[in-house]
Amino acid sequence: MNEQVALVTGAASGFGRALTETLTGRGVRVVACDVDEAAGTELAEACGALFVSCDVSEPEQNEAAVAVAVEEYGGLDLAFLNAGVAFGTQLGEGFDVDAYRRAMGVNIDGVVFGVDAVLPAMKARGGGSIVATASLAGLTPVPMDPIYAANKHAVVGLVRSLGPTLAGDGIRINAVCPGFAETAIIGPIRELLLSEGLPIIPVREVIDVVVDIFDGEMSGECWFVQAGRESQAFGFRGIPGPRG
């Protein structure tokens, strides 16, 4: 990865922070993006990344972040579209429309706008690799947070559909789908998970998978990360074909 250029969203904490530290340690020049300017600036200063304030739910801010990568480092090779938020409100129980729009704006719009922004730079480079953070919630029903499941399912469908679409440009796209991992997003339910005996995945395990995806050759796949299991591309069943 040495001398490559990467864009990381949601970089100020969790998976984004850990990957930024990992990539810069491998000689990758990283543009670290987040809405948390204080934590993002501290991260950049600590590991030699370049911080850009970016709300991924706004297409222009995604484009501006990519422009910084191109202007400062000459191009873009890798993108980790990772910014995400939880939702938690049930339908029919004081539904918060603003919170809903924010969740969808970050979790799915942020990936769509991110992909749209990075593609021209990667095509100019002759190819690249994109990893989007989805979740096991994108592979299975999640009764406790159906809206989160809905936008993560959308990320999974987007990645699977774009895999063959981008192949001709030498661009790979995959999703990483972790279970409950040690990030801020599980904060409200962390004690419940522990009381139920559910293991919490260390951030490092997820980042090792992300790096393996970047180093690999597959595209259009969704890699699950689950405690006690070796990560691999999830095996989707094909839909039934038409009958004559």
Catalytic residues: 148
Whether the CB-CB separation of 81 and 133 falls below 8 Å is answered with yes
Strands 171-178 and 128-133: parallel
Whether the CB-CB separation of 34 and 9 falls below 8 Å is answered with yes
Cα(165)–Cα(233) distance, integer angstroms:
19
Whether the CB-CB separation of 182 and 202 falls below 8 Å is answered with yes
Give the DSSP H/E element, type plus range, for residue 129: strand 128-133
Whether the CB-CB separation of 164 and 220 falls below 8 Å is answered with yes
Whether the CB-CB separation of 158 and 138 falls below 8 Å is answered with no
Cα first-last separation, the chain: 51
Chain mean position to CA 199: 22
